[in-house]
A = this chain, B = another copy of it.
């Protein structure tokens, strides 16, 4: 008996009619004779409402109690979906995190799953019973309810699929798959049939909000075949799989972007060992994450310009930290710039193809777009550009890499 995990997000279970719609989809898989586990989120809006109550009582709340309150959202959905399935004649039972149990560490509010005991679920699969599992939650070592952090239901689903050795893990969402680029900006963007874990990871971490980054990492580590598809349309979505499964690899699979970027340039920084540590040490101490870093070759052998990026929310803090921690750190000027965006070309095919970066640089140059910072990884080239060129850059690159829909 093949085991299948299905996951439905908050929008997909947003009201009674949608829950009934989900039940019909689940019934189809159950009728096909599969062992089916369905992971669901809280009904859209419910988690925010619960978080609102917590914050009204206690802005700096105890994370244990926060978890106890917000985990109720998913508990309501699993009960309702189990009932909706029963109404369709499908044997179904709801499961909270502690009932299965989904054992996590005790980092409340962003716990990590350590172990899922699937014995009872598997026994019930054999009796034809569907397991309706509360996403986003688990139980800690001291028997307290834990939650996995926002978007954690994706992680719940993938972890459960891994524990069950599931044939696939279908993540139903409000988009119908992973696109070559954001279709709201690039009209010619195409839905991808398949994408590798590595590419999906780069997409996810760049803000393409289809899947939570942690869930993709987990899928990659456990080789869980994840499918992203729409709960509102009846069409295949995008399969996230191992590289080996993709025969005809595109050189570039997609173009991602992030608006949440700010740039800081320090001019005339002394060009000697220990300077980078003097800059990035204090930033790390104050919780500022630094992304791209570029240091130019020094003109005179004595000083250089250093540029790096942080999220826009961290910009003010980064500036404050740098100004207040100048012992041993010498620079002439601090130039902040919140008007930048990051554009990334992603594809595992890059590994075996030369000239991918060149195409990017040339395409942007042809459009008169200045590249401020460049950063590369094995399967990604990212550039920082002025935000006013974002749409132009995305469309030009999409065409240049032959991604446009016919």
Contacts and interface: CB of A to CB of B under 8 A. Distances in A.
21 contacts: A16-B57, A19-B57, A53-B80, A54-B79, A54-B80, A57-B80, A57-B84, A57-B87, A62-B83, A62-B86, A64-B94, A65-B83, A65-B94, A66-B83, A68-B75, A68-B79, A68-B96, A69-B75, A69-B76, A69-B80, A99-B144
B94 A76 contact: no
Contacts of A86: 58, 61-62, 65
Contact of A87 (B58, B80, B94, B96): B58
Interface in A51-107: 53-54, 56-58, 61-62, 64-66, 68-69, 71-72, 75-76, 78-80, 82-84, 86-87, 93-94, 96, 98-99
A39 to B, nearest CB: 16
Nearest to A75: B72
Given A61-B86, A65-B86, 15 more contacts: A16-B56, A16-B57, A57-B83, A62-B86, A65-B80, A65-B83, A66-B79, A66-B83, A68-B75, A68-B82, A68-B94, A69-B76, A69-B80, A71-B75, A75-B75
B57 A76 contact: no
Contact of A84 (B58, B82, B94): B58
A44 interface: no
A268 interface: no
A50 interface: yes
Contacts of A191: none
A24 interface: no
Contacts of A143: 99
A20 interface: yes
Contacts of A99: 143-144
Interface of A: 16, 19-20, 50, 53-54, 56-58, 61-62, 64-66, 68-69, 71-72, 75-76, 78-80, 82-84, 86-87, 93-94, 96, 98-99, 143-145
**Number of identical monomers bound together in the oligomeric complex:** 2
A93 B67 CA distance: 12
Nearest to A72: B72
A80 B78 CA distance: 22
B69 A79 contact: yes
B98 A83 contact: no
A73 to B, nearest CB: 8
Contacts of A57: 16, 19-20, 80, 83-84, 87
Contact of A65 (B19, B54, B69, B79): B79
Nearest to A59: B87
Nearest to A144: B99
A326 B363 CA distance: 94
A78 B145 CA distance: 13
A62 to B, nearest CB: 6
A167 to B, nearest CB: 27
